[in-house]
């Protein structure tokens, strides 16, 4: 960053860690004015942590990058060079994903292609949150109050001039991932429900197909009964039909419940996160000592 000839800051968000991360960050912040720690009161999740970083950032451009060094900081000058050329969003495109399992690579590739098919937002393929955004873009995103956030979709939705920069993703520098399959599925669900009505439409399509099958089944049973065929006598066929249509109804209700739950979260109006210690607290403590 010093080689770029720009003023800069490093906003580090501690998302409720249970080790000595917060203590170490505060020690670094006392020694280096560039470091501005934001310490959450508890774990609020990756997307909320990134949101807090954008809200605390003061620069004319903001770069999002994870702390595990899988997204190499060496790519940052190239992001900035494209920003200087007039692009407001410069996203990093994963050319290779070293150190990740075949399952994770395959599911991530499938997810981006599915989300592009079912939404009207053109979300770039094989990208994460590693990107540079101009201050105008950041200000727009900070005005979007939704709790269930998918920032790579939101930054694509706002528009502006955007360009991709390919890079090779590195293995984790240390430690184990805290983003298991459950969290990946939750993020995928947030992306789909936040940018597409396809699940609701799919429930309608399934309902029509099921109703059509039911009508055909009724006609078939009537014809067979009138012809004296005993194949459909008894309760087996009725039980199968009830179970099938009951399953369809429960799936449809579950889909509706996901959307209604998100509406409920937005209506409560709770804050996205709670900060236990912020950059200003570090400055105030230092002034008191001086």
Return the higher-pLDDT residue of 277 and 53: 53
Position 152 scores a pLDDT of: 76
pLDDT confidence tier of residue 271, bands split at 50, 70 and 90: low
Please determine, for residue 290, whether its predicted confidence score (pLDDT) is greater than 70: no
Mean pLDDT of 153-166: 83
The model's pTM:
0.63
Q: What is the pLDDT of residues 199-225, one digit of tens each?
A: 766 766 777 777 677 667 667 766 766
Please determine, for residue 179, whether its predicted confidence score (pLDDT) is greater than 60: no
Return the higher-pLDDT residue of 286 and 272: 272
- Cα 224 to Cα 280: distance, rounded to the nearest angstrom: 80
Of the listed ranges 109-118, 171-180, 200-209, the least confidently predicted one is 171-180
Position 168 scores a pLDDT of: 80
Return the higher-pLDDT residue of 120 and 80: 80
Position 63 scores a pLDDT of: 92
Please determine, for residue 56, whether its predicted confidence score (pLDDT) is greater than 80: yes
Please determine, for residue 241, whether its predicted confidence score (pLDDT) is greater than 80: no
Position 94 scores a pLDDT of: 81
Please determine, for residue 163, whether its predicted confidence score (pLDDT) is greater than 70: yes
Return the higher-pLDDT residue of 286 and 26: 26
Please determine, for residue 238, whether its predicted confidence score (pLDDT) is greater than 70: no
Q: Give the percent of the chain with pLDDT over 90.
A: 2
pLDDT confidence tier of residue 62, bands split at 50, 70 and 90: very high
Across all residues in the chain, what is the average pLDDT?
75
Mean pLDDT of 43-65: 87
Map out the domains of the chain as residue ranges.
8-44+274-290, 51-196, 198-268
- Cα 26 to Cα 39: distance, rounded to the nearest angstrom: 9
Q: What is the pLDDT of residues 90-104, one digit of tens each?
A: 988 887 766 566 666
Position 195 scores a pLDDT of: 63
> How many Cβ atoms sit within 10 Å of the Cβ of residue 178?
11
Q: Give the percent of the chain with pLDDT over 70.
A: 59
pLDDT confidence tier of residue 153, bands split at 50, 70 and 90: confident
């Amino acid at each position: 960053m010093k080689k770029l000839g720009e003023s800069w800051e490093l906003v580090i968000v501690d998302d409720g860690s249970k080790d000595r991360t917060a203590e170490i960050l505060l020690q670094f912040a006392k020694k280096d004015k560039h470091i501005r720690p934001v310490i959450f009161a508890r774990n609020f999740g990756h997307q909320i942590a990134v949101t807090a970083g954008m809200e605390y950032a003061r620069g004319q451009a903001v770069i999002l990058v994870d702390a595990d060094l899988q997204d190499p900081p060496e790519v940052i000058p190239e992001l900035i060079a494209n920003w200087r050329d007039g692009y407001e969003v410069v996203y990093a495109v994963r050319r290779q994903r070293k150190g990740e399992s075949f399952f994770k690579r395959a599911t991530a590739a499938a997810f981006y292609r599915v989300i592009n098919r079912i939404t009207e937002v053109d979300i770039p393929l094989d990208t994460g949150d590693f990107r540079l955004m101009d201050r105008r873009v950041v200000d727009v995103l900070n005005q979007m109050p939704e709790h269930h956030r998918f920032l790579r979709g939101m930054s694509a939705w706002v528009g502006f001039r955007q360009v991709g920069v390919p890079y090779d993703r590195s293995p984790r520098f240390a430690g184990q991932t805290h983003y298991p399959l459950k969290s990946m599925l939750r993020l995928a669900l947030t992306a789909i429900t936040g940018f597409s009505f396809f699940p609701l439409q799919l429930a309608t399509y399934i309902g029509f197909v099921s109703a059509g099958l039911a009508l055909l089944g009724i006609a078939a049973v009537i014809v067979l009964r009138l012809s004296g065929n005993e194949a459909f006598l008894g309760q087996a066929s009725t039980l199968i039909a009830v179970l099938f249509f009951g399953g369809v109804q429960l799936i449809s209700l579950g889909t509706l419940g996901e959307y209604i739950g998100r509406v409920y979260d937005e209506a409560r109006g709770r804050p996205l996160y709670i900060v236990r210690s912020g950059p200003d607290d570090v400055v105030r403590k230092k002034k008191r000592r001086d």
